[in-house]
Amino acid sequence: MTRRKSKFREEFKRDAVALVADSGRSVNHVARELGLNAETLRVWVRKARMDTEEPDTGQEPGVVQPSEAAKDVELAELRKRVAELEEEREILRTAAAYFAKEMGR
């Protein structure tokens, strides 16, 4: 039995595995975003884990914990987004109160 040559470059595989590891998203989600078969990406992730001899975390297969740095970046982005949404909400409240007052005249 001959082995088929992969149509994906090693760099792409490494980047896809890193995306799963750093984003904290499931293999299925990342595979969908990249237009890959989820099982193909799952094999790449499993192989990368074996290559680095990562200990088993007891998690569901295909879910990789993001690094602390990635968590910090994501947390900062989420806090910024929350602040923006709170500001928008306050603007809308003020506008609603203004228009309610105008409609009551």
% of the chain beyond a pLDDT of 70: 80
Tell me what pLDDT residue 74 has: 86
What is the C-alpha to C-alpha distance for residues 95 and 105, in angstroms, rounded to an integer? 16
Band the pLDDT of 25: cuts 50, 70, 90: confident
Instruction: Find out whether 44 and 62 touch, Cβ atoms under 8 Å.
Output: no
Mean pLDDT of 7-14: 86
pLDDT > 60? residue 64 = no
* Helices 27-34 and 38-52, axial angle in degrees (round to 10): 120
Q: Which helix (H) or strand (E) holds 11?
A: helix 10-23
Tell me what pLDDT residue 43 has: 92
Higher pLDDT, 51 or 64: 51
Instruction: Find out whether 20 and 48 touch, Cβ atoms under 8 Å.
Output: no
Tell me what pLDDT residue 60 has: 56
pLDDT > 60? residue 56 = no
Q: Which CATH number fits domain 7-66: 3.40.50.300, 1.10.580.10, 1.10.1740.10, 1.10.10.10?
A: 1.10.10.10
Tell me what pLDDT residue 2 has: 64
For 63-105, the DSSP string reads: B-PPPHHHHHHHHHHHHHHHHHHHHHHHHHHHHHHHHHHHHT-
Alpha helices in 24-62 (DSSP H): 27-34, 38-52
The domains of the chain are located at 7-66, 67-105
